[in-house]
Structures are given as structure tokens and as C-alpha cells.
Amino acid sequence: MSNIRSKLLSSIAASAMALAASSATADNVLRLGQTSSLPNLNPYVLAPAYEPMVNNLYDTLTRYDANMAPEARLAESWTFSEDGLSLTIKLRQGVTFHSGKPFTSADVKASMDFVLNPDNGALISGFAKRVTQLETPDEHTVVMSFEAPFPGVFDLFELFFIVDIETSSDFSKDANGTGPFKLASHEPGTLTRLDRNASYWNGASSLEAVEIITSPNQQAALLALKSGELDLVTELGWIDVLPFSRDEDFTTGSAPSGVAHDLSLNLKVPVLQNPKVREAIDLGLDRERIARLFFGPEGTTWCLPYNPNSIAYFEEYDNCEFNLDKAKAALESSGETLPIELKILTSTELRTEYTTVAEILQADLGEIGINLTIENLDTAGYRAAYAKNRTYEMASHAFGRAGKDPSALLETTVVFRPNDNVTGYENPAYVEAVKAGGSTPVLEERRAAYKEVARIFREDRFILPIIPRIRLFVSQNELSNIGWSADGFAVFEKVEIVE
């Protein structure tokens, strides 16, 4: 018995030592924990699980800096033609892929062709179609042509990762980019290890490696962070961050996430075609409470799908309110038979917060005569019901590309695009306004077009923005210089571990 006990104790001690040795400070490896599994290394999928990987394995032509100005990356310089219909890009020379192959304009073209091929399911394909032609006059020059001026082109570049397509056709195990880290190993659902790219064009990272570790749930990740097994956990709620903010061993912070919650209304459902019913739902949506619940004092609300500093933001249309009395009055004047029975689609598996929004809405709308049934599906079921088959009635949802150029958001997301959006909303005026705002570089013209879009949003209420997400994170104190892209994707290039 004592023999067994001593063996057990020594194994525990050995495990503890192994654990201690695995902390970042010991081996200069950054370990990030995330709950979503990274199934492959395709940078164009852009699901949450891919976010810590994309900017570290791959590079983009440009990346927005903190002031949302495009910063040169693989593109060294760029010039628009006078009519705004073409963009000439001079590429950085001396850059090589992880395989050692030199980076040239042919790789930009190959990556663009890959994105545009509908079989590859790239999320940015709709946006990339604005590039009508891509020419490569020499190895270090790319000329892109557009049908109309394309002011949102840098938004496209932000997500247009350059890949050596020839050697990365199977993203399940290959990833040949030019990023600051190169692929060392990839075990889907468990661990992805990226080693330092010693010949990185912007200087090799001081980190030895980055490990993206799949945790069974957020609490397990936070416990691993507390024990020193992980160095960084992102995508947290403020309540998760709260205990760490009082602990001097940890650093807490926030970054924009490029994602915002919304309530999507399917206008193919007869009762939702009634504008008064939509108005009642809008008035019954307690944005303040949701913001406070998810992000505490840092939470803010959105009535329009933009930040107040966006060119598409207009204060006069940022006019939503939570008022159940008005909501009830609107519903009673709708002419519909009460109570109205509706289903709200959610997926706890995809985002816990979707269900929280649904629960809040269910309680509030129940008071005014709308009975919501929560339909909580798994990720695949949710996506099928929302985007593919569009069989949902109302959906608790979140959209990306929030907080950048409005043309990217309005023209490409399934929620907002003027034609064939998931809500079934059709309005020639909306089509025209979105097109006008995204096809001119002249600021006043764009503002005028987006003012019309804002008016339509608030009058027709087919999509109800709720709150922008912020990326709350906790890291070990030793970690510094974590970078974040405009979409809130982690950038580990300049991260340092200081003892």
C-alpha cells in the first residue's frame, strides 16, 4: 500500500514539475487556450477558432494600425489611379514562404484565384469579387482593377491572407505562409504548434513558439491559466475577467473584436412582415442590460451596426430605446392577433451569449404579448437554419466585419448584403444606397449614401444590432506586446516574455 502511495506521490510531483516546466517563462513558448477546436489551417474560413492562427502563420498585403490607417505588410507601397478604378501595389522584396520559396506577385494572384473559386468557400469571396481583374506585370508588382472605386479595399486586404497555394492545397496538415511563425504540428481538437520563423522579413519573433491549445470549456482554460499551464485566454466575459483583474500575477485587457451581436428577423415569416411587430420587438430589446451583462462597465450598445467614429454613423439614427409600454402599444396597433407565437434560433454551442440574449428577449417580449420559444441547435444545425436553409424566424446572431469600412459590412455579410441577405429584406432604395456608398472615394458622397442606409435600418428594422463585442483577455504578467488586428485577431509577432 505504501509502495502504491509513494508511486502516486512521485507521479503527482513529476506532473507538477512538468507543468511548471511547461509555463511560458520556462521555455519561451506562448500557450493560448481556446474552447473552439481548430479543424484545419485554412485562413479563409475565419471562424472564431481560426483567429489566433491566421495573422501568425500568414501575412496580408496591408494591416490596419491603431488609427485604422493601412500599414504596409507584404505590400510595400500602393497607388490608386486617378479615377479610383485601379490600384497598383509594389510588393516587399526578399520575403520567403516558410518552405523557403520566394514570395512573388504570382502568389498574390494564386491566393486571389483560390479565394474567388466558389468551391473553396472563402468567407471573403463576395467582397473579393469587387476585384474584377488582377494583373502581375512583374514579380513584385500587382495591379488590381475594379468596376467602380473600391474604398473598402483595405478591409479586404485585412482578411486576404497570402498563401503558397501549391503547397497548401490540403489545409488539414499543410500551411505555407510568410508569417512570423511556421507550422510545426497540427492535431485538430487538441494542439496546434507554431515555431518561430527565423527568416521572417520583419525580424524573427523573440518567442520560441506559440501553442494553440483546445480547452474543453472556458472555465477549464481559466483554471489552466491560474495554474500557469496557459499564458493567455481570450474571448472572455467581464465576469470571467473580474477575479483576474484583482490578481497582480495577471494582466487583463480588451481589444476590438470586429464582431457585434444582432437580432435577425426573417421577413418571410408573415407576422414579421408587419413593421409594427418589428418596431415592438426593437422596443422590447434591452440593449443596455445585455451590454452590462456581457461586458460590465466596458459594454456599449449599438442601434446602427457601426462605431460612432464610422463614416456611416449618424447620431440622429442612433435612436433606439428599451420601452415595454411603447412596445406593447406598437404591438397592439399592429392589427395582429395576440399573443404572437415565434421561435428564436440560438446555439449555446456556437456562443453561450446567443442563448442569453434569447432568454432576456423571451422574458421581455413575453410581457408585451410575444411568446418566444427558444430553439437551441448545435453549430451545424444553427448554420443550416440561419444561413443555408433560412428556416429560422428570429435569430440571436453575431456578425463580423463590424467597425471597419461600412462597405465591407454592407456588401458582403449575409446579414446586410442588399441582395440575397438572410432576412429576406428587399428594397431597391437600400440596394442603391449601399452601392453608392461603396463605389465612390468622395467622403461627402459616401456620407450621403450611408445616411440613407441608416435611415432605412431604423425605419425598416429588419436587422437589429445589439452590442459590439469587445475581446476581453487575461494573460500572465510576463507577457507583453500582444498585438490585435482590427478584427481582434491576435498577433504574436512582437510578444515578449519578461521574467
Partner 1 sequence: MAGLQYLWHHRGGRIGLILISIVILLSIFAPLLTPYGPNEQIRGNELLGMSWTHPFGTDFLGRDIYTRTLYGSRVSLIAGALAVVLGALLGTFMGITAGYLGGITDAVMMRISDAISAFPAILLAAAVVAILGPGFIQVAIAIAIAQSPLFARLARAIALIERQQEYVEAAQSMGARSGRIMMRHILPNSMGPLIVQASLSVGIAILLEAGLSFLGLGVQPPTPSWGQMLADALRFIDIIPAYAIFPGIALTVVLVAINLLADALRDGLDPQHVTSKRIT
Contacts with partner 1 by CB under 8 A lie at: 217-219, 237, 239-240, 242-243, 286, 289, 293, 348-349, 355-356, 358-360, 362-363, 374, 376-378, 381
Distance of closest approach, residue 327 Cβ to partner 1, in angstroms: 15
Residue bearing cell 483554471: 223
SS (H, E, C) 437-487: HHCCCCHHHHHHHHHHHHHHHHHHCCEEEEEEEEEEEEEECCEECCEECCC
DSSP three-state, residue 316:
helix
Pick 132 or 219: Cβ nearer partner 1: 219
Q: Which residues contact residue 425 at a Cβ distance below 8 angstroms, ignoring those fewer than 6 apart?
A: 267, 460, 462, 463
Distance of closest approach, residue 324 Cβ to partner 1, in angstroms: 11
Pick 33 or 418: Cβ nearer partner 1: 33
Pair type for strands 370-376 and 340-346: parallel
Pick 196 or 261: Cβ nearer partner 1: 261
DSSP letter at 102 equals B
Distance of closest approach, residue 243 Cβ to partner 1, in angstroms: 5
Pick 88 or 376: Cβ nearer partner 1: 376
Distance CA 407, CA 429 (A): 16
Strands (E) across 149-293 are located at 161-162, 181-187, 191-196, 209-214, 232-236, 250-265
Strands (E) across 197-294 are located at 209-214, 232-236, 250-265
Closest CA to 239 of 94, 356, 142, 136: 356
- Output the CA torsion sign for 201, 205, 209, 213: negative
Distance of closest approach, residue 34 Cβ to partner 1, in angstroms: 16
- CA 111 from chain centre, in angstroms, equals 21
Distance of closest approach, residue 182 Cβ to partner 1, in angstroms: 36
Pick 170 or 341: Cβ nearer partner 1: 341
Distance of closest approach, residue 348 Cβ to partner 1, in angstroms: 5
Pair type for strands 479-480 and 496-497: antiparallel
Pick 263 or 358: Cβ nearer partner 1: 358
DSSP three-state, residue 351:
coil
Torsion, Cα 163 486 199 76, to 10 degrees, reads 80
Pick 233 or 410: Cβ nearer partner 1: 233
Pick 39 or 296: Cβ nearer partner 1: 296
DSSP three-state, residue 69:
coil
Distance of closest approach, residue 239 Cβ to partner 1, in angstroms: 6
Neighbours of 63 (CB within 10 A): 21
Distance of closest approach, residue 140 Cβ to partner 1, in angstroms: 51
Pick 17 or 242: Cβ nearer partner 1: 242
Neighbours of 471 (CB within 10 A): 20
Pick 259 or 344: Cβ nearer partner 1: 344
